Every structure is written in structure tokens, then in C-alpha cells.
A and B are shown apart, each in its own frame.
Chain A
Amino acid sequence: GSAQGSGAMGGSASLIPRDLLGEYQELTFLSKQEILLAYKRFSELLPKEERENACSTRVPKSQILTLPELRANPFQQRICHVFSTSETEDDSMSFEDFLDMLSVFSDSATSDIKSYYAFRIFDFDNDGILDRKDLEQLVNCLTGQGEGSRLSSEEMEQLIQNILEESDIDKDGTINLAEFQHVVSRSPDF
């Protein structure tokens, strides 16, 4: 779903350069109003002195994770990692990365692009396929951090077995992007 602003309408922040706004609107699934809103939210994450050139500054991961939409999300680390284009691998996000993220999560994004990014988010070791370790980590993320809520190892084994039975078409013990997209495109809830 869309990670839009939760009604935090600040005062008049400086706008994005006009030509860029048009281009962003063309390249993402967001409307201009949504892009401006995103800009506001993004610039609020920066300290006051850096807000003027929010377009070119990078926000550290810790700041991004304070957004309410990401705060409660079990995949927050992965999301930051996937969308970040930082060369120093510190998972900091620029405004364009932020827009990329919002665009993929918006309602009007196609199922293909959503499933592509979902695959990358679930791929914890970044090797391009979902193997057993990835699936285990995925389940642990979904069941939360509490002690009582984790699955026992037999249950985990059973679960992963079932999943691989359902989704692994070429029976190589891993799920690749195409298989993932095949499974997920049939789902009514995706």
C-alpha cells in the first residue's frame, strides 16, 4: 500500500526544481501532489540547516527508520538496503531513492514491479535466489521478536518444506525471481 504522509502538513518548505518535478512524475507512479508531500516528509527528516538542498542530501538509515510506516515494519532494514544507492553501503537514502521506494509501494504501481522489489527485499543474502536460509529468516521476521511467537524448528522445517513444494517448480531447492512472480501474481492479497 502507499506509504503516504500521515497528515503531517508542515509549513511552506522550498519546492523541488520545476523541471525535476515533471520528470519525477513521469518516471514514478506518484502524482505531483504526492511527490511534493514526499519531499516535505523527506526534508523533515533532515536537520534544519540541510533542508534547503534536500534533493541532493542523503539521509542516514537511522533517520529513515523513524518514519511511522517503516518503524513497525519487520522488513525495514531490507527495504532501506534495497532502495539505497549509497556507494558507501551505509544504506543511506537520497530523495530519489525515497521516491523510488514510494513509487513501488504506491497503489498504482504494477504487480510486476512490486513483485520484483519484494523478491529483492526477501532475498536476505543478496544472491538473487531465495534459498532455505532466506526463507527461514523471512519467517522469523514475520513472526516477530517475542520469545513465544517464534516457530519451533520442526514447525519451521515443515513450513519451508510446504513452501518449496508449492512454489519451487524446477525442484532445485530454491525460489528464483520467475517462480516468485508466478506464485505472487496469483495471490488476491498482494
Chain B
Amino acid sequence: DGSDDNEEGSAVENEENAKGTDKGKKRATPRTRRAHARGRDRHGDEDDEDDEGGMRRAGPRRHRSRRRGRAAGNEASDSDMEHTKARKNQANQESKENDEEDEDEKGGKSGKGKNEKKGDKKSDKKGKKEKANKKKKDKKKSGSGSDSESEEEPITEEELAKLKEEVEEKKKLIATLRNKPWKMKKKLSVLKYGLISIMNPLLILILFNTFCASLDKITSKDQLICLSITSHVFTGHFGSSVASYFIFLRWMYGINMILFGLTFGLVMVPEALMGKPYGSLPRKTVPRAEEATAMNFATLWDFSGFAQYSVLFYGYYNNQRTIGWLKFRMPLSYFLVGVGSIGYSFMIVTRTMAKNANDDGGGDDTSFNFSWKMFTSWDYLIGNPETADNKFASITTSFKEAIVEEQESRKEENIHLTRFLRVLANFLALCTLAGSGYLIFFVVRRSQQFALEGLENYGWWERNEVNTVMSLLGMFCPTLFDVISSLENYHPRIALRWQLGRIFALFLGNLYTFIIALMDEINLKARYFLPFTMFDRLLGNIEALQSATDISLEEEKIVKYNMTIWEASLYNGTIPENSTAPPIQVDPADVPRGPCWETMVGQEFVRLTVSDMMTTYITILIGDFLRAVFVRFFNYCWCWDLEYGFPSYSEFDISGNVLGLIFNQGMIWMGSFYAPCLPAINVFRLHTSMYLQCWAVMCCNVPQERVFKASRSNNFYMAMLLFILFLSTLPAVYTIVSIPPSFDCGPFSGKTRMYEVISETLEHDFPSWFGKVFGYASNPGLILPFILLMVLSLYYLNATSKSYKEANLELKKKLQSVRIENYCF
């Protein structure tokens, strides 16, 4: 890949050097600079005009060079100039002839064709113009060619206009050549005659543009060049639906990079550089009791010990208002980064949804069902015979299905049958959901009973019953949904959405049932977070937060009381009111600590992410790779055909992977306020799993049975992502607004609420009138009308968008009828 870029770069450079005209230009520049200085004064303002400036400059320069008849380089362009006029007319004629030929070829219906071509011409011309303008702007910035254009001698206006016109025609011609369905030879011959006349300025622009484009490719933001190449490879093998999963993954990676940048740059680095160092404060030191094991690998893997008392977690941060010589406001920064990353995520998800909605156009049009199946169903990205066979099969099936459905839709009664079947399927799905919810409820109650009687009396099953049941449900219910969906007879894409929606509902339903059943138990065991699958923990932690903080408030009082007693013991029993005794130096490691629930929560999320990462790797290695190895090598000595029967190679399950990705991101959003290191860990996780899954897909997976092309709109996934984002930010918002922060750790210690850092900043750092204004603005009397106004504007925008859609449809219909009219006459 690198060699390609180098080659192209050198090719471009060689091109630039090899051209006689260019060489001439390069040589000409120093000499003409003085001349340009003179000319510039006279025509300075003209030079700066953006629009036709390039062409204008070209004209006079050519003119000047013709008059002066300079060195070798310019002579070359000179001779070209002489050929120009003659050839220009010839080329014009030729192209006109060619156009006419072509239209006659098409036979009869040229009217439409011409209109379309004109449209293309216009848009291409615009595109070219914009390109040319952009190039010119770049050139101006780089300053390389800008000096070489300015006139020295005055030229008449009409000559200028004529030259401009000729150049425009040439541009038009070249812009449309791509769109002409001619063979390369023909295009080349037309181009040669047309191109020479404007070779000088246009070629420079073209070369510069391609050079810039090649630079772009070399230094592109997409560092994963490997991935962009391989996406072509496995698109060939799997069709474009798998590629769409990886594109989604890459997009998530981008978001996580930004979040990482925010938390790392604005929270972790300032504290590490400018905050008080490790060991200076009790909250920053490992307690004496834990010191012995603080450096063990096991402790570090569990994110306690030294990892806990570091910038990675909430508890380390000091509540000083400003730190360091820069007067960096740490608590404010922490708060704003937390809120800002959530805001940024909302914004970017909504923006992507809006963009996808635009691409969608007017929505689904079913007017050409059969024709589209016929003409557009083949996926030209497929390069693998195996996939091609699957595709053939799926096309045949879809034809047959469409024919059958068409026949059945002509018989009236079968619509009702389909509807009935679909209602039945939904009913069955609801039953499954209800059943699994009840099962979880039942199991949780049972485990509470076991806990009351003491867990030692029971074996492994009873201890891990809840875990296992939830995992088993998570494994088997989706298959059940798959079977149910065969009743419904939908298009594969729609069936996939129903499937995803049902799985989503299953997981959420399980979680909520679990939480409700567990509320009492959590209150008893606030500190002991039972290890479940990630989905359970996702919402389990919300409740745990609440109960944990209730407990910690109690504890707080107890600890504070203990600390005063401890201090008193240091003074040997006496606490004089106005003591002037020197403060006794105590090692921070020995000071008794208060509870720090935020760090605990942060640790939980980090452990969850890490264990999830491990699970993914192990599943891929064992479930995909080892299975593939086993099937490949043991197939010879096994009774039945391993490749076609059980277990065979594993398929790449797109929906499962996408759901996993979305739920993981939800965890990150939830936990990054309490553990600033979480985005960093997630970036690492996404990076490695991207490559690992890429490799696994190519090496161990087989294409899916039903291959269908994923259309551009991923709005379904985006909608799920948005929902999870909303759900994940609720806990953080709740804690910011209603729960008092721990008194002994974190940047907000000592305040009654976390958001008070804002009011504190307003008091100290802004002029007093600002605070007053803010106070007035946050008055409920002002906020409520504002909310009302937003609701009204939402309604208005919704109404206008509906009317636009309707107008759009009307126009489409009109277009159709106009086309038909044109056609018939």
C-alpha cells in the first residue's frame, strides 16, 4: 500500500516535471516575478477576484507570453497557442458531430436523453467549477503558482472575453467526456484536440488537484488503511451487509476517540501534571491496610490497589477550586467534560440519523417491485463463487416468493390470513417475553430465600441460578423468535428489524424484572454487586447507586464521628477549643477513610468492560477459530460430515454483534463520569476487536445463508443507539442533581450537590451581574414558558416537514406523468 502511494506521488511529480510547459512555467516564475510586481499594481484588484479569476489570469498570461516570445518553456506553450485556435474549431465541430451521432444511435427518444445529459453537464460543470475554485484557493494559500499570474501589458476587454468563452467551452467539453458512453479511444481523441488549447492552466489545476488528493490519501484521517482495503476483500466474500457492520464499528471508534480526547486531555492530564502528587493527601494514598497487596497483578487487574488511587478514578481528584500555576479549575472541568461528552454524543447520533434520513429520500416505493428485483438484485461486489451460489439461491427464492405473494395478493381472502398469522406471531413473541420475565422473577425470589437460609448449604447451581438462567434465556429466546418470524413472511430486511426489536425487548424486559425483584436485596447488599451478564449490570447498577448512596450517607456520619474520635486520640484525649498546638504530622496512609461510592461504581463499570472484552476474545477464539480448526481437520475421521451438519463453520451474526456493540457503548456512557479512564479502555477494546473480528470473519466464518444487501439507511441501529444513550445518561444526571457527593473523595467533595460547582464558578470567576442574570434565567417562571415554546416549535416543524414530504410525493408523481407524456409524444 505504501509503495503504491509513493509510486503515485512520484508519478505525479514526474508528470509535472516532464511536461514542457510546466518546466517552462517553473523557469518562468522567477523571471516574471518582477514583471508581475509591476503588473500587479495596475490589475491588483482583478487578480483577487475569485470566480473566473483563474481563467482570466490564464488568458492574459498566454497573451503576454505570445507577445514576448520568451524562453524555451514558453515557446512550447507558444506553439501550442498557434495550434490552439485551429484545433479548437476542429474539436468543437468534432464533438458536435459526435453528439449528433450518438443521439441518432439511441434512436428516436433523444429528447429525454438530451435533457438528462444537459442536466449532467450542468452539474458536472458546477462540480468542476467548484473544484477549480477550491484548487485556486489552495493554490493561493500555498502560494506556489499565484505569483505567476498577472498581466503586464493591457489587453482589450473583448479579447479577454473571447478567450474566456473559448476556455469555458473547452471546460464544458472535458467535463462531459466522462459521462459520454463512448469507448476510451473516442474520448481520448476528442480530449486531445480539446485539451491542448487549455493545457497550461487547466492541466496545472488538474495536476495540483490530484497531487492534493494523493496527499489526502497518504495522511488521511482513516489510520486503519488496512481496514479500508480489507473491507473490499470481505465485501467480495460476504456481500455488503457485513461490510456495513464494520463501517458502523469504525464510526463508533471515531466517537470514542473524541470522548477519549476530552477525558484524557481535560481531566486526566491536568490532574496528573498539576494536581497534588500521589501520597500527599489521604484520598490519593493507598490505605495502610491494603499497602501490602497494592502492587499485585491480581489487585491491579481488579482495578483496586494502585489503580484505584490514581487519575483513573473519580476518588483521586482533589476538590481544590484551582490547581497549578495555570489556575486550572479542576472540578469545573470535570463537570463540564462529563456533561459535554454526553451532549456531544447526543448531537452526533442525531446528526447521523438526520443525514441517513436525507439519503433515504422519499421513502419506500413499491411500484416497481419485480423490475427492481430483476435489474438490481445482483450484488456486483461479490467475488466468491460460494457467495455467488448463495446469492443465486436467494434471488431464486425471492423471485418465487414475490410471484407467490403477487398471486396471493390477487386473491382477497389471503390478506387476512397473512394478517392473522402476523398477529399470531406477535402474540407468541409476547408470550415468550412474559414467560421469560416471570421465570426471572421466580428465580430471583428463590435465590433470596436461599440467601436467607445461608448460601453455604447449597451447591453451585443454587448459588449461580440467577446468572445461568438469564444467560440461558439470552441464548435460546432469540432462536425462538427466529422460528416465530417464519410465520410472518416478511421481506428479510423487515424481518431482521422485527427480530432485533424483539431481542432488545427481551433483554430490557429481563433487566427490569430482575431489578424489581431485587430491590430489597440490593438494599441489603449495596456493596456486593452480583456478577451477571453485562445487560443485567447495565440497569442493575442504577438501583445499586441509589441504595449505595443511602448506605453511604449513614456511613458518612459514622465515619465522621470516628474521625473526630481518632483525632482526639492523637491529642491524647483533649480537644481544646482554640488550640494553638502544632498540628501533628500523620502519614496520609494511616488516616481513616470515608466511603467513596463513585469510585466503587466506576470500578464496577471498568471491571465489566474488561470482562466483556475478555469474553469477546474468548468467544471468537474458541467459538469461531477452534471450531473451524476442529471442523476442518477432524472432518476426515468423523462419522458424519462436519462441514454441513453440526457443528459446521460459524456464521457471522450481524444483528448479535451490532446489539453487543450498542450495549457496550451504553455502558461506557454510563460509567465515564465516575471513571475517566473508561473511554481510553474502550478505544483500546474497539481497536483490537476490530482487527480480531476482521481476521475471524475472513478466516473462520462462512457467508450467511440469506445474503441481502444492506441499504444505506442504518437508522434502525441509530435509533437503538439513541435510546440506549438516553437510558445511560439518566443515572449520571440523577446523581448530579439529587445525590450529595461523597465527603471524602472526588472533585466535588464538600458540596451538597455536584452542580454547585457551576454556581461557585459564576460567583468567583464571572462579574457579579452575570450571576444575577443567571439567577433570573434559572427562575422556573422563565423556564416553563421556554419549554412550552420549544414544544410548540417542535409541533410546527413536524407539521412543515409533513407538508414537505407530501409536496415531494406530488412532484414525483408529476415527474412521472411528465416523463410518460414526453415519451409518448
Q: Mark A residues whose CB is within 8 Å of B.
A: 1-7, 9, 12, 15, 18-19, 21-29, 31-33, 36-37, 68-69, 71-75, 85, 96-97, 99-100, 103, 105, 110, 112-113, 116-118, 122, 128, 135, 138-139, 142-146, 149-151, 155, 158-159, 162-163, 166-167, 169-170, 176-180, 182-184, 186-190
Contacts and interface: CB of A to CB of B under 8 A. Distances in A.
Nearest to B17: A18
Contacts of A15: 7, 11
B565 interface: no
A75 B378 contact: yes
B371 A155 contact: no
Contacts of A128: 107
B371 A163 contact: yes
Given A72-B383, A190-B376, A9 B3 contact: yes
A109 to B, nearest CB: 8
A7 B396 contact: no
Contacts of B647: none
A7 to B, nearest CB: 5
Interface string B1-34: 1011101100110110011000000000000000
Interface in B177-195: 177-179, 181, 183-185, 187-188, 191-192, 195
Given A28-B184, A159-B374, 4 more contacts: A1-B240, A97-B184, A105-B380, A166-B371
Nearest to B364: A188
B400 A188 contact: no
A21 B11 contact: yes
B403 A158 contact: yes
A144 B191 contact: no
A18 to B, nearest CB: 4
B361 interface: yes
Contact of B711 (A27, A110, A169, A189): A189
A28 B384 CA distance: 27
A176 B109 contact: yes
Nearest to B190: A27
Interface string B212-223: 011001000000
Contacts of A32: 8, 11-12, 210, 213-214
Contacts of B116: 112
A47 to B, nearest CB: 23
Given A4-B232, A163-B371, A22 B206 contact: yes
A35 to B, nearest CB: 9
B400 A68 contact: no
B381 interface: yes
Q: Which of A26, A184, A187 counts the most B-chain CB atoms under 10 A from its CB?
A: A26
A69 B396 CA distance: 21
A183 B369 CA distance: 10
Contacts of A167: 368, 371
Contact of A6 (B5, B203, B217, B236): B236
A72 B372 CA distance: 21
Given A97-B183, A110-B179, A158-B403, A26 B371 contact: no
Interface string B438-460: 00000000000000000000000
Contact of A25 (B18, B210, B399): B210
A122 B11 CA distance: 38
Nearest to A3: B380
A187 B375 contact: yes
A135 B233 CA distance: 32
Interface in B87-134: 106-107, 109, 112-113, 116-117, 120
A80 to B, nearest CB: 14
Contact of A96 (B109, B185, B213): B185
A116 B181 contact: yes
25 contacts: A6-B232, A15-B11, A18-B11, A21-B15, A23-B188, A32-B210, A33-B214, A36-B7, A36-B11, A69-B380, A73-B382, A103-B178, A112-B117, A113-B181, A128-B107, A139-B399, A142-B377, A143-B395, A143-B396, A159-B370, A166-B369, A167-B371, A178-B823, A186-B367, A188-B364
Contacts of A180: 375
B824 interface: yes
B819 interface: yes
Contacts of B235: 1
Nearest to B210: A32
B109 A144 contact: no
Nearest to A69: B383
Contact of A170 (B210, B376, B380, B823): B823
Contacts of B820: 169
Contacts of A145: 392
A186 B380 CA distance: 19
B14 A18 contact: yes
A4 B389 CA distance: 22
Nearest to A151: B399
B51 interface: no
A159 to B, nearest CB: 6
A6 B113 CA distance: 36
A74 B392 contact: yes
A1 to B, nearest CB: 4
B367 A166 contact: yes
Nearest to B712: A188
B384 A68 contact: yes
Contacts of A163: 370-371, 374
A71 B372 CA distance: 24
B788 interface: no
B387 interface: yes
* Top 6 A-B pairs, shortest CB-CB distance: A144-B392, A96-B184, A72-B388, A68-B383, A1-B381, A18-B15
B370 A166 contact: yes
B393 interface: yes
Given A6-B383, A158-B407, A188-B711, A26 B174 contact: yes
A7 B372 CA distance: 32
A59 to B, nearest CB: 15
A143 B389 CA distance: 9
Nearest to A154: B403
A155 B109 CA distance: 33
A6 B396 CA distance: 28
Contact of B230 (A7, A29, A138, A143): A7
B11 A27 contact: no
Contacts of B179: 110, 112-113
Contacts of B38: none
A146 B195 CA distance: 52
Contacts of B203: 22
Contact of B1 (A9, A97, A176): A9
A85 B183 contact: yes
Contacts of B819: 182
A112 to B, nearest CB: 6
B583 interface: no
B42 interface: no
